[in-house]
Amino acid sequence: MTNIQISLPESMKVFVEEQVAKGGYSSASEYLQELIFQDQQRKSQEGKCAQLMAKLHTHRVN
């Protein structure tokens, strides 16, 4: 695994720490990995939906 350094405002740092403490995550890194994974999944689904909508639109026009 590779590392990345990020800067957060204090309020966001506290929020992440709270999520780790009560969310069953072993670290801030694990919490952020989960958020990124969820975002990747959501964007993948959005892309698939857009492709389906384009196909439906094409079939309606023809």
> Which residue type occupies 33?
Q
Please state, in angstroms and rounded to a whole number, the distance separating the CA atoms of residues 59 and 57: 5
Return per-residue pLDDT of the chain as tens, 62 residues: 899 999 999 999 999 999 999 988 999 999 999 999 999 999 999 888 888 888 888 877 66
**pLDDT at residue 62, as a whole number:** 61
Cβ contacts of 16-23, under 8 Å, gap ≥ 24: none
Q: Hunting for tokens 């990020």 — which residue is that?
A: 6
